[in-house]
Amino acid sequence: MLSLIAYSTGYLREVIVPHQPFRDALADRRRTTLMLFYFAAILSVIAVSFGARIPFFRTPLLVLAVAGAGAAILFLLRFLRSNDEHERQINYRALTFAFTGTLAFSLAIGFLQSFGFHSVSWLGIPGLMLILWSIGLILYSWRYR
């Protein structure tokens, strides 16, 4: 992308503007923290799922699940604390999107259960909230660019 810049001497000069936005160490650290959050949350869900199916390893897997959930909470808090005002607005809208979507899903499942629909696993609701929050982060960060 080319743009023209006027200088005080009165002539115009052509400057090449990079296509990628400026990336700094804070943005890389936030991205790493968010990826660690997702990894810890998925590890916790997998450990709980296998803990219910493999009775011999139930206790170590549940300890791993609790440790993964604790790590996910710490990484999420670290991610949220590193936000500026603009990013906090994006997170607020993403959390609102996730809460509303989860509420609608829960109401729909409750309504369908009255017609004989099978219940959803308790791991489905936090997983749905995490997925909807991630979708909300993507949508609202694109919207506010």
Structure confidence at residue 7 (pLDDT): 47
Domain boundary among the residues 82, 100, 118 is at 82
Dist CA 95 CA 81 (whole Å): 15
Interacting residues of 2 by C-beta distance below 8 A, sequence separation 6+: 14, 15, 16, 17
Confirm whether 14 is domain-assigned. Answer: no
16-58: pLDDT as tens digits: 655 555 567 778 888 899 999 999 999 998 998 888 888 888 9
**Treating both helix axes as pointing N-terminal to C-terminal, what angle do 85-113 and 124-143 enclose, rounded to 10 degrees?**
140
The CA-to-CA distance between both ends of the chain, in Å, stands at 17
Domain boundary among the residues 82, 98, 116 is at 82
65-94: pLDDT as tens digits: 999 999 999 999 998 888 888 888 999 999
pTM: 0.68
Dist CA 51 CA 110 (whole Å): 27
Dist CA 119 CA 107 (whole Å): 12
Six-digit token string for 135:
């979708």
Dist CA 46 CA 54 (whole Å): 12
Confirm whether 136 is domain-assigned. Answer: yes
Determine the structural domain holding residue 96 and report its residue range: 85-145
Confirm whether 20 is domain-assigned. Answer: no
The residue written with tokens 């919207």 in the block is 143
